[in-house]
């Protein structure tokens, strides 16, 4: 089955700096790659996603890039703010709607 | 805004007991999922449910686990004969389009502690 690896496990940045989180996946059939943000005491919430027919997608301060050949995708957060502090999970899904596999998560801390 | 609700928020049980975790998915959603997250670890897929039956389950979802949609609104996860290693946060999620098509909406989770 699909295996998603995520790095780093923790990331600390100064407010205003950029943060990059990287993921790799194993199954070349995967074609949908969402990113979820989990704030303390809450369930994960979708923040951005990308499909395999697109190499990059941007939404304000967040962007995701996908390299299908290398089977990796990354989340980029620019101009980080303290409220960006959370755990971020990458995920991968493939041809059916039954399953989505998550990475191990990255705890991002943005220091004011 | 519609949301997925889960009860209880926290349950403490003795090893060997049965627990039922309840979820009310968003009303027009058709796909339902259970995930679990052991403290500090990844969110692990347990099972997906569509059209009143299990559509996929992971290797974790063995005979100890079962799911049910008893009344058209609730979606329950039953864990029989709980073990210490079942202690985790259990998340329910629902989707109107499915895991490969659209967003999964997660509840806030049910924390299970097995003593």
- For residue B80, the distance in angstroms to the closest alpha carbon of chain A comes to 23
Q: How far is CA B1 from the centre of its chain?
A: 21
pLDDT at position A5 is 94
Chains A and B form CB pairs within 8 A to the count of 75
d(CA B80, CA B73): 22
pLDDT at position B101 is 77
d(CA A102, CA A100): 7
pLDDT, tens only, B6-15: 999 999 999 9
Using CA atoms, how far residue A34 sits from A45, A103, B6, B16, in Å, is: 10, 11, 23, 37
The pLDDT > 70 percentage for chain A reads 100
- For residue A92, the distance in angstroms to the closest alpha carbon of chain B comes to 9
pLDDT, tens only, B23-61: 999 998 999 999 999 987 888 999 999 988 999 999 999
A33: pLDDT strictly greater than 90: yes
Note whether B55 contacts A101, CB cutoff 8 Å: no
Note whether B48 contacts A99, CB cutoff 8 Å: yes
- For residue B36, the distance in angstroms to the closest alpha carbon of chain A comes to 11
Measuring CA to CA, which residue among A17, A3, A13 is closest to residue A78? A17
B105: pLDDT strictly greater than 90: yes
pLDDT at position B2 is 78
């Amino acid at each position: 089955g699909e295996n998603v690896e995520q790095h780093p496990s923790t990331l600390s940045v100064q407010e205003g700096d950029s943060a990059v989180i990287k993921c790799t996946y194993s199954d070349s059939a995967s074609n949908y790659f969402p990113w979820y943000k989990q704030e303390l005491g809450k369930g994960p919430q979708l923040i951005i996603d990308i499909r395999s027919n697109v190499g990059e997608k941007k939404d304000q301060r967040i962007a995701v890039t996908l390299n299908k050949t290398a089977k990796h995708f990354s989340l980029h957060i620019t101009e980080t703010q303290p409220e960006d502090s959370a755990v971020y999970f990458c995920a991968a899904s493939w041809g059916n709607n039954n399953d989505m596999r998550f990475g191990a998560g990255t705890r991002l801390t943005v220091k004011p | 805004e519609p949301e997925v609700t889960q009860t209880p928020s926290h349950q403490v049980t003795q090893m060997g007991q049965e627990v039922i975790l309840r979820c009310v998915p968003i009303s027009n959603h058709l796909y339902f999922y259970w995930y679990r997250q052991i403290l500090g670890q990844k969110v692990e897929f347990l099972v997906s449910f569509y059209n009143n039956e299990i559509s996929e389950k992971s290797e974790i979802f063995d005979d100890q686990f079962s799911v049910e949609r008893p009344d058209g609104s609730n979606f329950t996860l039953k864990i029989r004969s709980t073990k210490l290693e079942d202690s985790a946060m259990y998340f329910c999620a629902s989707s109107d389009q499915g895991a490969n098509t659209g967003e999964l909406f997660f509840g806030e989770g049910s924390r299970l502690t097995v003593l």
